[in-house]
Structure 1
Amino acid sequence: MCRMARPRKPLLSRDRIVAAALALIDHEGLDAVSTRRLAAELGVSGPSLYNHFKVKDEILDAVADTVVGEVDLSVFDGDADWRTALMEWSRSYRAALAAHPNIVPFLARGPGRRAAGLSMANAVFGALVDAGWPPAQATRIGALMRYFVAGSALGSFARGFVDDADAYDPADYPRLGQAHLLAEHQQRVDEGAFETGLTALLDGLALQYEQLPSA
């Protein structure tokens, strides 16, 4: 019996295209993604990509949805109160974005028609409304949390300072004598800043919640 030889490379699929695009974005940024570059990375002809995605933005949408799909929404399905749910969701959301910061500017456009993005928006908004927040305020809170988490994941405060004590002359910057040490403790500084801000935001919202007529 004559058997067909196995293809040397895996067949092209949406998952392979998305994985290749995400790898490019992670290593080189959004501008690195083009159908020509992706085809080269995958070892296929450019037109073959169009069997799975019509335009480049569809590929970026799929990448963005893959990243958002990493966010844990299960906390909204349990018995956690709205404050705890927002806290746990925010931590998971930041972790997903911090792992792929170069996609954040694209995600900032909003969920559009992306399934994972819409599911996340639905879960956050629904949890807040179910907890007694007025829909308009729930919308604003959802936006606020998204701004905060995305901003936290996009950059590093600690990385903004150089590892050179001479750059911070005490005569000019008397309060920055230890600034050159920040880069060495980047993760601790950035995660600590996120947790401080998250607690402050939620504490402030809790005070507003106590003043709601239905709370």
Structure 2
Amino acid sequence: MPRAGRPASPLITRRAAADAALSLIDSGGLDGLSLQAVARVLGVSAPSLYHHFRDKEELLTQVARCFLEEIGHQQERWSDDWETRTIELSLATRRVALRHPNAAPLALRFFPRKLMLPAYERSLVDCPYPPQFHAVILEAVEKFTYGSALFAAAAEAHHTPAMPPVDEAHFPYLASAIAAAPASDEDLHVEALRALLDGFRVRYGPRQR
């Protein structure tokens, strides 16, 4: 039985504080975030948070961790096919970044690479290419995914289009490319990733006889 005068469970957990911080970032951006603001949301005193986080930087690291965990929870089941699963994970990353555009830069600034090690390992278990190419494949897919997702999130955060209006008279080739592009930005993301995956197949797959 808990002692009189003490709550049965802690009023603050690292996860609850990170969730509160993420909500504040979503609504007001990174500049307005403070431990005091998080404490107000949780209904506790600011000094209480220092029992869980040394400073704001450590809190933001936990927010980045929550961001990445949200990506992993986008689907109950991921495809058994390596290429399809790679596309699913890339799309999940983009969708989470667009859901939290103000917080998306934290995924790079406080990237918890140690947290990603199991995901890297799983992605290589059934990778269809020889091991000497795995590091290159990880590098290419990860950098494409986060680069694309963060560019999209930045546009969303600043309420600007991913591509500004293009004057056909001055930029005829670019205007033509945009007109012929996939219908949505998400479709464009998938098609670009498919082109990258096709490149792996050509460069690293079995030689055509």
- The two structures have a TM-score, normalised by structure 2, of 0.71
CA deviations over 1:31-56 (Å, ceiling 9, x no partner): 33221232233332211001222222
Q: Does 1:148 align with 2:144?
A: yes
**Residues matched between the structures, number:** 190
The residue that corresponds to 2:50 in the other structure is 50
- Cα distance in 2 for partners of 1:91, 1:98 equals 11
The residue that corresponds to 2:23 in the other structure is 23
Equivalent pairs: percent with the same residue?
34
Match of 1:133 among 121, 130, 134: 130
1:200 is aligned with what amino acid? A
- Cα distance in 2 for partners of 1:206, 1:178 equals 29
Any stretches of 5+ residues in structure 2 without a counterpart? none
Using the TM superposition, give the Cα deviation of residue 193 of structure 1 relative to its aligned residue in structure 2, in angstroms.
Answer: 1.2
Alpha-carbon contact 1:35-1:49 (below 8 Å) kept? yes
Larger RCO, structure (CA 8 Å, separation 6 or more)? 2
Alpha-carbon contact 2:67-2:107 (below 8 Å) kept? no
Any stretches of 5+ residues in structure 1 without a counterpart? none
Match of 1:195 among 158, 165, 190: 190
CA deviations over 1:145-203 (Å, ceiling 9, x no partner): 1111112222347814567xxx84x6545567799x99xxxx95311210110110111
Alpha-carbon contact 1:97-1:153 (below 8 Å) kept? yes
- Cα distance in 2 for partners of 1:51, 1:154 equals 32
Alpha-carbon contact 1:24-1:33 (below 8 Å) kept? yes
2:135 is aligned with what amino acid? T
CA deviations over 1:107-161 (Å, ceiling 9, x no partner): 2243244x3x333233224443xx4432x52122112111111122223478145
